[in-house]
Structure formats: C-alpha cells, structure tokens
Amino acid sequence: MTTPELVRFEEVTKTYRTARGRRLSALDRFSMTIPQGRTVGLLGPNGSGKTTALKALLGLVRPDSGTIHAFGHLLPHDQRHVAAHMGALIEGPAFTPSLTGRHNLRLTAQLLGAPTRAVDEALELVDLEAAADRRYAGYSLGMKQRLGVAAAFLGRPDLLVLDEPMNGLDPEAVRDMRLLFGRLREDFGMTMVVSSHILAEVEQVSDRVAIVRDGRCIADADLTDLLAAGGPRLVLRVDDPDNARAALLGHGHHTTARTGPRGTELRLDETAHGPDILKILTSQGIYPHEMTQESPDLEDVYVAAIRAATTADPQNGEQT
C-alpha cells in the first residue's frame, strides 16, 4: 500500500525581480512530494530555494509556472481552501515581546478560532508550561522557536511547515526540538516539512529527505531508501591526504576529506573496488595506514546527488 501524498510540487518555477531589475531564479522546475505521516527534511545550501518553496506552498509567493497539489486542491487557485490544513513557522516566530508566551498564544488561538484549551495543550507539548507566564522578550532562542512551533500547531493542522526551526540553536535546544518532533509524529501522527542547511540536523529529525540545489530538487525519497541505494564507501587514512586525493582524482575517483577524532579520513564518493584504489595509491608511493568499508550516511547521499546533478547539468558548475 502506498502512503497518500498531502502535497505534490510539479515543475514549479519562480523568478524574483530584484530592486535593480535583475532576474533571480529561486525555483527552477522544482518537484517534490510530502507523503502523509512523514517528516520531510528539506535540505540545501543558503539561497538554494527552500524558503521560496515553502512560501509557494503557503501562498506567500506566486509561482511563475508549475503546479502544487495540496490536500486535494490545486494551488494557487484554491489557496483559501488549504489554509486550515497547514500550520507554519517561516523565517522565525513573530510574537509581541512585551506579552507573555501564554498571552501570545491566546491571541493566535483567537485568530484561528481555536479553543483556549488548545493553548494549554500546546504549551505542554513544547514544554513551556513553566515559562508560559514570563514575557516573550526574556525567552531564550530555543524557547522562542518552540513557542513558534506551538503556535503553528494550535489549529491542529494536517501539515506543519517549519522553515529552519533549529537555526542558531545550541545542541541542547536542538535535542529538545528533536524530541518535540518525535512527539508530534508519534502522539499526533503529524506530517512535517522541516528545512535546514545542516545535514546532521536533517538526518536526526527526518525520515524522508528532499535535497535542493539551485532551485531544483535533486533527490526526494525516504531516508532508508536513499541510504540503501548507495553502496558501501571505502574510507582511507593516509599521511598526506591532499596528495592521495589528487592521485585518486587523476583516475576519476572523487573523494571527500572528513576530519574526525582520529584525524583526517578520505571517503570515496562512490563505491569502488578496494584493490583498484590500493593499486593507484601504491603506484604513486602512497601507502595507506588503514582502509575500511562503511555504510553510506546522509553526507554520502548528498555528495552523490550533487555530483550526479552536476554531471547531468554541467552549466551548474561544481562546488567542493
């Protein structure tokens, strides 16, 4: 049985005009799906189009072409029919600093026509009951972001749209946010789309990933499928990583250098045959200390998707 889709973007294109009249392509035939019950991590570098895509879904920007199907409606034509299905936190929460967290949420509840009881439930959900009667101005960034999620959740939407909800949070606040997403998913069956430019965050909170680059969605799949599709990666430890990278690149093998607790390791970007790699290195007088095989992680998937997209469309250029 396939999971129903709540949202489907098809070939959505959006070009902004800057104040100087320059055209700036933010979305370029952007396609992705949001299946029910999933937490979709919308992953991409700064300026890749994540916020624009979410704004198009919410009706805050109007695409030039392409379609968005959401909750059985076609956007932007039927935008007013889908508003109640979505709760959003875009580009940080907007609350009144001088009012308490509870007061701010009550105002949001009034706007949505949600019962006062929903405010208490939302405060409990985001673990802000103890701080509910303090002024919003005195909240930490993590508390502000959690109150923003509470406001998005107040109307009990079918889909939560959260733009960079973990941006700028310290590791403990990121952990709180991760636990909150777990509760929303498990206790409320919530579907979520969560954007981020940080791989590790997306890997920790999502079970589905859409990778955006230059306004295009270059991968859109369940995380387990993405990871299973990539084969094992060879990982090398050598004395002179730069030299080894150059030697391998000379034979068409791309690598990524990662620095961890054990120093710098080189990871092959695609699956490769161990003996072939050793032959290349030793023929140039490079003798690895260690060569192991590891299962791919999201960074491997990300690198491979970007490489594949660059090969398919060389005018995009390559970033390393």
Ligand X SMILES: Nc1ncnc2c1ncn2[C@@H]1O[C@H](COP(=O)(O)OP(=O)(O)OP(=O)(O)O)[C@@H](O)[C@H]1O
Going by C-alpha positions, the residue among 42, 20, 63, 50 that lies closest to residue 214 is 50
CB of 213 to ligand X, least distance (A): 10
- Which secondary structure element, helix H or strand E, spans residue 187, and what is its range? helix 171-188
Can residue 16 be called a binding residue for ligand X (CB under 6 A)?
yes
Name which of 165, 155, 145, 153 is nearest 50 in CA terms. 165
How would you write 255-283 as a 3-class SS string? Answer: EEEEEECCEEEEEECCCCCHHHHHHHHHH
- To Mg ion, the closest distance from the beta carbon of 152 in angstroms equals 16
Minimum Å distance from CB 45 to ligand X?
Answer: 7
Determine if 48 is a binding residue for Mg ion (CB under 5 A): no
Tell whether residue 33 is a contact of Mg ion (CB under 5 A). Answer: no
Part of the chain binding ligand X (CB under 6 A), chosen from 40-48, 127-135, 168-176, 229-237: 40-48
**Counting contacts by CB under 6 A, is residue 255 touching ligand X?**
no
Please say whether the beta carbons of 252 and 277 come within 8 A. no
Residue 119 within binding range of ligand X, rule CB under 6 A: no
90 and 51 in contact (C-beta within 8 Å)? yes
From Mg ion, ligand X, none, which one binds at residue 39 (CB under 5 to 8 Å depending on kind)? none
Provide the token pair at 244. Answer: 């080894």
Q: Is there binding between residue 24 and ligand X (CB under 6 A)?
A: yes
For ligand X, the closer of residues 198 and 235 by Cβ is 198
Q: Which does 108 bind (CB under 5 to 8 A by kind): Mg ion, ligand X, none?
A: none
| Sites for ligand X among residues 191-220 (CB under 6 A) | 197
Pick from 39, 51, 100, 191: which binds Mg ion (CB under 5 A)? 51
Stretch that binds Mg ion, among 21-29, 51-59, 172-180, 206-214 (CB under 5 A): 51-59
Quote the CA–CA distance of 176 and 172 in Å, as a whole number. Answer: 6
CA torsion angle 92 109 123 182 (round to 10): -70
Q: Which is nearer to ligand X, 30 or 136 (CB)?
A: 30
C-alpha–C-alpha distance, residues 214 and 233, integer Å: 27
User: In the complex, which residues of this chain contact ligand X (CB under 6 A)?
Assistant: 16, 18, 24, 26, 44, 46-52, 197
